[in-house]
Amino acid sequence: MGFTPTPAFTDIFDEPIPNLEDLLKNIPSETCITFLAFINAELYVKSDDNNTQFKILGILLRRQEPVLRNKIIKKLTAKYKGVIFAKLYNLEFIHWELLNYRVFEASDGAAEADLNFLKAYLLIVERININYTDAIDKSIVNEDDDFFSIKTWPIIIEQIEVNHSIYPIPEMIKGMIFLNYLEHNSPYKEYVIQFLNKNGMKTGWDYVIGLSNLLESGWANLNEKEGSGFYKFFLNKSDRYEYLLESLSLNIHEYKERYKKSKQNFTGFKDKPLYKIGEEQYLVLNWNYITNKMYDGLLFDFYSNSGIKENEKFTKFEDLKKYISSNITEKYTFQRIVKYIFKSRYAKVLFDNGTSNFPDAYVRNGKYIYLFELKDTYISTDVINSYSYEKIKEHIDIKFNTKKKGIGQIVKQIKKLTEEPFEEKGYNELNLKTRNIVIYPIIVYTDKFFRVYGINNYLKKEFRRRIDQENLHQSFNGIRDLTFIDLTFFLDHLNVFSKIKLNDLIDYFHLELKKAEKRHFRNRSVESLWKENENFESIVIKKFNKDFDKDPNYIKEIITTFNLTDNLPKG
C-alpha cells in the first residue's frame, strides 16, 4: 500500500478543460460501460502490472496518429510510471454514465471516440484528485498530531475496498458459517430456505459455490485457444444460475433515482455488481463486489429477500446484525478460532461469561496472558466519503477507544489482573507471580476498512498512553503493545497456528514497527513513514509467506472446525 501518482487531464493535454457531456455525447453509455468493465477485469487480475496499464492504453491509442500517440505515452512515462487506470476511477466513471445514460446508435469516428473516452477518463481522475487535494489542504497538522494519519486517512479509506482485491476463501467461509448456523442452529431456518429458493438454490453450499463459480470466471482468459490475453469481463446467461445472475443485475432507472445525489461509497454496485446487455450477457462492473456478496453483501441481501425483516425481532437491519455479531461472529466463529489457536492442553481458554469487564476471550498459557476484545462493527458510508480526518478519527475512537469499549475495556481488565486472574484459582494456587506475567492485548475487528495503515499505530499509542496514566507496567513482567487484527486473517491462515505461535507473530510485528520508526527518525523518507504505519497482516504475511501457503488439509480443517458438513457437496 502507498501513494502512486496518477495523471489527470491537465497533466497530459495542453488544452482547455472540456466537460464530460461534450466529450461523450457521441458515445453510447453502454459502449463506455462495456469498456470500463473490460478495464476492471484486467485490473482485477493484474492491477499493479505496468504491462496491463499499457495494454489498456494501447487499445485506446491504437487508432491515433503516431505523433499524438507518442506524445501522450511520453508524458505518461516521464512522470507517472505508466499508472493510469484504477478500479476506483472505473466505478466513478460508471456511476457518472448511469446518471447520464445515453441510448443511440454509435456513429462513425472510432479514433475520435477512443480519444474522447481517454480524455473523459482523465477528467474523472482530475475530479477525484481535486477532492483528495482539498482534503489534504484542509487537514491542519499540529506539532503533537500524527502527520501520517491526518494526511492519508481521508484518501486511503475510500480506496481500501475498491482498489485492493478481496481474497474469496475467507468470505466463502464466513458466508457458509452464517447460512449454516441460521439453518441448523437457530429458530430461523425457514428464512434461509426462502432466501435460497429465491436464488434458485437448494442449500447454502449451492449458493456460496455458485458465487465462487461466477468469480472463477474472472480469472479465465476470454479466448484461451487463440491466446487473446484478455480477461473475462462478462458472464454468459446460465440456466443453472439464472436467478442468481438476475438478482445481481442493476436496474438503470432504480439506480438513477436512488443514487442521483450521492454514490454512497458505491453501495449501488455492491448491491448489484452486474449490468445486463441484451438477453445473454452480464457485464461485471467490479469483480470484488461479487466476492463481497459471499458475506457482507449476503447479510444485506438476506435481510431484504428472506422475509426475516417481517419478524418482529428484526424490524431493522441493525437488529439482524446485532444477532449475528453476538451469536455467530463472537460465540461461534471467534470462539472456535481461539480454541483452535490455543488447543494445547496447557492453555486455559475462557470466554465472556457475562460478568463485568470479562474479556471476549481470556487465554493463559503459562506466564503469557492474552486479552481479546472482538468488535464486529461497520464503518459508516458517511465517514468513508467524508474526506475528513476528524470524522474518521472520531469514528475509530467511538468504536475502539472509549472508557467502555476497546482500549478502555482492556485497561480495566489489566487493572484486575494486578490483583487476580480471570480464572477460578488465584495466583497462589496457580503458582504464578504477577511480576512474571506477560500480557498480550488484542482487538479483533471485522470490517475491511479498518485495515487502513496507521490505525493500529494510532490505537497502540492511545493504549500506551492509558497504560502509562494508570502506571500498570510496574505490576507485570511486560505489557505488550496493543495489536489490531482482522478476524479474516485468522480464517485465512487458521491452519498455520499448528506450527507458529500467535505471540511470535505479534512480537515480530511490533519489532518491525520499532525498526521502521527508528529508520524514519533517521532518514525521514516517505517509504519509512509507510512502513512505520503498516498493519499487522501486511507485515507478518511478508515475513511468513511460505508458512502461510495453503496446505492440502486447509479446507478439511475449516469444515471440521466450524462444523460445516451439513449439506456438504459430495466429492
Q: Are residues 423 and 365 in the same domain?
A: yes
What span, in angstroms and rounded, lies between the C-alpha atoms of 164 and 288? 8
φ, ψ at 525 (rounded to 5°): -90, 155
Q: Are residues 390 and 527 in the same domain?
A: yes
Is residue 568 included in any domain, yes or no?
Answer: no
What span, in angstroms and rounded, lies between the C-alpha atoms of 345 and 27? 68
Enter the C-alpha cell of residue 352.
465472556
Task: Name the residue with cell 462444523.
Answer: 563
In which element (H, E) is residue 171 found?
A: helix 168-184
Task: For residue 452, give its domain range.
Answer: 345-562
Q: Are residues 96 and 184 in the same domain?
A: no
Instruction: Tally the domains of the chain.
Output: 3
What span, in angstroms and rounded, lies between the C-alpha atoms of 346 and 366? 7
Which amino acid belongs to residue 137? D
Is residue 436 included in any domain, yes or no?
Answer: yes
Closest CA to 179 of 160, 158, 195, 199: 195
Q: How far is CA 210 from CA 169, 185, 206, 279, 441, in A?
A: 13, 23, 6, 20, 39
Is residue 221 included in any domain, yes or no?
Answer: yes
Closest CA to 93 of 122, 69, 59: 122
Q: Are residues 318 and 354 in the same domain?
A: no
Side-chain half-sphere CA neighbours of 345 within 13 A: 0
Q: How far is CA 457 from CA 435, 468, 538, in A?
A: 27, 16, 13
**530, 1 Cβ separation under 8 angstroms:** yes
- State the pLDDT at residue 155: 84
Closest CA to 61 of 20, 9, 111: 111
- H helix intervals, 266-388: 267-271, 287-292, 296-305, 317-323, 335-341, 381-384
Is residue 187 included in any domain, yes or no?
Answer: yes
Is residue 144 included in any domain, yes or no?
Answer: no
Which amino acid belongs to residue 373? E
- State the pLDDT at residue 549: 73
Q: Are residues 215 and 87 in the same domain?
A: no
Instruction: Report angle CA 539, 454, 95 to the nearest 5 degrees.
Output: 100
Residues 6+ away with beta carbon under 8 Å from 388: 135, 138, 154
Q: Are residues 308 and 189 in the same domain?
A: yes
Judging by DSSP bridges, how do beta strands 347-351 and 438-445 pair with one another?
unpaired
Q: Are residues 303 and 205 in the same domain?
A: yes
What span, in angstroms and rounded, lies between the C-alpha atoms of 163 and 30? 23
Instruction: Report angle CA 78, 84, 88 to the nearest 5 degrees.
Output: 150
Closest CA to 309 of 321, 325, 293: 321
Is residue 163 included in any domain, yes or no?
Answer: no
Q: How far is CA 561 from CA 295, 332, 337, 521, 565, in A?
A: 19, 10, 8, 45, 10
Instruction: Report the Cα–Cα distance between both ends of the chain, in Å, rounded.
Output: 39
Q: Are residues 456 and 487 in the same domain?
A: yes
Q: Are residues 406 and 548 in the same domain?
A: yes
Is residue 372 included in any domain, yes or no?
Answer: yes
Q: Are residues 401 and 528 in the same domain?
A: yes
Ordered per-residue pLDDT tens for the chain, 571 residues: 555 668 889 989 999 999 999 999 999 999 999 999 999 998 887 766 788 888 899 999 999 999 999 999 888 877 666 578 989 999 999 999 999 999 998 776 799 999 999 999 999 999 888 877 765 665 555 545 578 898 889 888 888 888 777 888 899 999 999 999 999 999 999 999 999 999 999 999 999 999 998 888 766 665 543 445 788 899 988 878 888 999 999 999 999 999 998 888 899 999 999 999 988 899 999 999 999 999 999 999 999 999 999 999 999 999 999 999 999 999 999 999 999 999 988 999 999 988 888 999 999 999 999 999 999 999 988 999 888 899 999 999 999 999 999 999 999 999 999 999 999 999 999 999 999 999 999 999 999 999 999 999 999 999 999 999 999 999 999 999 999 999 999 999 998 898 899 999 999 999 999 999 888 888 877 788 888 999 999 999 988 877 777 777 888 889 999 999 876 565 4
- 147-159 vs 110-138: helix axis angle to the nearest 10? 150
In which element (H, E) is residue 374 found?
A: strand 368-375
Q: Are residues 319 and 383 in the same domain?
A: no
Check residue 119 and report its DSSP letter: H
> SS in 3 state form for 231-297?
ECCEEECCCCCHHHHHHCECCHHHHHHHHCCCCCCCHHHHHCCEEEECCCEEEECCHHHHHHCCCHH
Q: Kindly tell me the burial class for residue 44, based on how many C-beta atoms sit within 10 Å of its own C-beta (0-12, 13-18, 19 or more).
A: buried
- State the pLDDT at residue 139: 55
Q: Are residues 123 and 201 in the same domain?
A: no
What span, in angstroms and rounded, lies between the C-alpha atoms of 330 and 361? 10
Side-chain half-sphere CA neighbours of 59 within 13 A: 15
Is residue 59 included in any domain, yes or no?
Answer: yes
